[in-house]
Structure 1
Amino acid sequence: MKKWFLGIGMALTMAACSTQISEYEGVEPTLNLDEFFVGDIVAYGIIQDRSGKVTQRFRADIVATWEGNQGVLDEVFYWDDGREETRVWELTKLGPNRYEGTAGDVVGIARGTTAGNALHWVYQLEVPWRDGTINITLDDWMFLVDEDRLFNRTEMRKFGFRVGEITIFMERKRAD
């Protein structure tokens, strides 16, 4: 019985320490995906393993378009080891502050909610592993800094255990 109470207490403590998207309500500038993700965007990122060691670096060029409630993010990644990879996100704005998305290596549907300057986005990603692939859960947070710059921080989990982190800086390119 004591173990049961201890387990509930730990779960409640962890939940109390978790950041909720509602904590960003009213924080400016307001993140609207259909406004930020329009045009050409360049992104720079790192991937860290569970110990914090940087294991990969990349640059990504993103061409983003929106028509009505439908958006497309056409991404080309240039990895530090010379690999080139593409991902095409198809996004749907479901209503105020709610989004869904799919991509070729996303398992099922990604679901996200915005509040203030933040987006919380959770999904499963199929990633190469040894001679095959594995599915990793991504707990993704994006924060709009200003109308042209956004930070993205993602925790990667497998079987509920933290296996790494992704940090990305994105900047919209302005026509000169």
Structure 2
Amino acid sequence: MAVFLAFRRSTKKIAKGVPLLSVSIALSACVPSGHLASTQAPVPVFDPVAFFAGHTEGKGRLSVILRRHTPTLVEGYGVAPGAGQIDLEQDVRVGVGKPTHRTWHLRRIAPDRYAGTLSDAVGPVTGEVTGNRLHLQFAMKHGLHAQQWLDLQPGGQTARNRMVVTKFGVPVASVDETIVRRP
């Protein structure tokens, strides 16, 4: 939701009468994607239930077209209510703004496959694990679509999160974040 709000504020600055799609295509190069280099590996295998159970903290940056990079802070607490399930509560702060709250519910539906909900999403969240990578996808309000790639780092206590938000298939925002499990 924070990504959407920053995106919406940016598009209000666009001159009236210029189609959003044309502007998005022209400006999609303004959303940096060089930080999306893959760190996928066969091990350690990403178990989202084990990783997100307990306290986590994510620090990163949000890049939205027509805006400067904005620091992000995500504080989370996850509970595993049953085998193969995680309920994750997160407080998200974008820049110096007031934190927003979001809730994830994920469950394993098959080996290496997950499904669930996210309070910021419209419809279901789907996920797939390949080695150390968890790939999540979901739709957001106003025609936005998000994809996240979380790569578990050696030692299993840190994950690198890279998210790209698109509209009409054109990148309009990205997040690059490091998530750390806290004791």
**Shorter-chain TM-score above 0.5:** yes
Equivalent residue letter for 2:128: T
Q: 1:77 to 1:35 in 2, by over 3 A?
A: same
Aligned residue for 1:44? 59
Unaligned runs of 5+ in 2: 1-39
Cα distance, 1:124 vs. partner?
A: 1.1
Aligned residue for 1:4? none
Unaligned runs of 5+ in 1: 1-23, 127-133
Aligned residue for 2:164? 155
Q: Counterparts of 2:91 and 2:150 in 1: how far apart (Å)?
A: 19
Cα distance, 1:59 vs. partner?
A: 0.9
**Secondary structure in structure 1 of the residue aligned to 2:153:** strand
Equivalent residue letter for 1:86: H
Cα distance, 1:111 vs. partner?
A: 0.6
Is structure 2 residue 77 aligned with structure 1 residue 63? Answer: yes
The equivalent position to 1:115 in structure 2, one of 95, 114, 130, is: 130
Superimposed CA distance per residue, residues 141-174 of structure 1 (whole angstroms, 9 cap, x where no aligned partner): 1100131000010111001111121111100012
Cα distance, 1:135 vs. partner?
A: 3.5
Equivalent residue letter for 1:38: A
Superimposed CA distance per residue, residues 29-59 of structure 1 (whole angstroms, 9 cap, x where no aligned partner): 11111111111001112111247941x2221
The equivalent position to 1:169 in structure 2, one of 158, 164, 178, is: 178
Cα distance, 1:78 vs. partner?
A: 2.2
The equivalent position to 2:149 in structure 1, one of 141, 149, 157, is: 141
Aligned residue for 1:103? 118
Q: Counterparts of 1:82 and 1:162 in 2: how far apart (Å)?
A: 24
Q: TM-score, normalization: structure 2?
A: 0.72
Which has the larger Rg?
1
The equivalent position to 2:139 in structure 1, one of 104, 119, 124, is: 124
Equivalent residue letter for 1:150: A
Aligned residue for 1:129? none
Superimposed CA distance per residue, residues 62-98 of structure 1 (whole angstroms, 9 cap, x where no aligned partner): 0011122321010011232321100010111112100
Equivalent residue letter for 1:73: L
Q: Counterparts of 1:99 and 1:51 in 2: how far apart (Å)?
A: 34
Aligned residue for 1:13? none
